[in-house]
Amino acid sequence: MVKLSVNINKIALIRNARGGNVPNLSEAAQKAEQFGAQGITVHPRPDQRHITYQDVEDLKKLVTTELNVEGYPSESFIELVCRVKPHQVTLVPDPPDALTSNAGWDTKVHEIFLREVVTHLKNHGIRVSIFMDTDTALYDSAARTGTDRIELYTEAYATGWLINPAKAVSPYTEAAIRAHSLGMGLNAGHDLNMQNLKFFAQQVPHLLEVSIGHALISEALYLGLENTIQIYRRQLQ
- List active site positions: 43, 70, 190
Of 26, 36, 19, whose CA–CA distance to 236 is shortest?
Answer: 36
Q: What are the phi and psi torsion angles at 160 (to 5°)?
A: -70, -30
Task: Specify whether the CB–CB gap between 50 and 10 falls below 8 A.
Answer: yes
CA–CA dist 129, 188 (Å, integer): 10
Per-position b or e across 103-141, b if 16+ CB within 10 A of its CB: ebbebeebbeebbebbeebeeeebbbbbbbbbebebbeb
Phi, psi of 116 (to 5 degrees): -65, -45
116 residue type, one letter: E
- CB 172 within 8 Å of CB 134: yes
Q: Is the peptide bond before 73 cis (omega within 30 degrees of 0)?
A: no
The Cα angle at residue 143 between residues 142 and 149, in degrees rounded to 5: 85
136: which DSSP letter? G
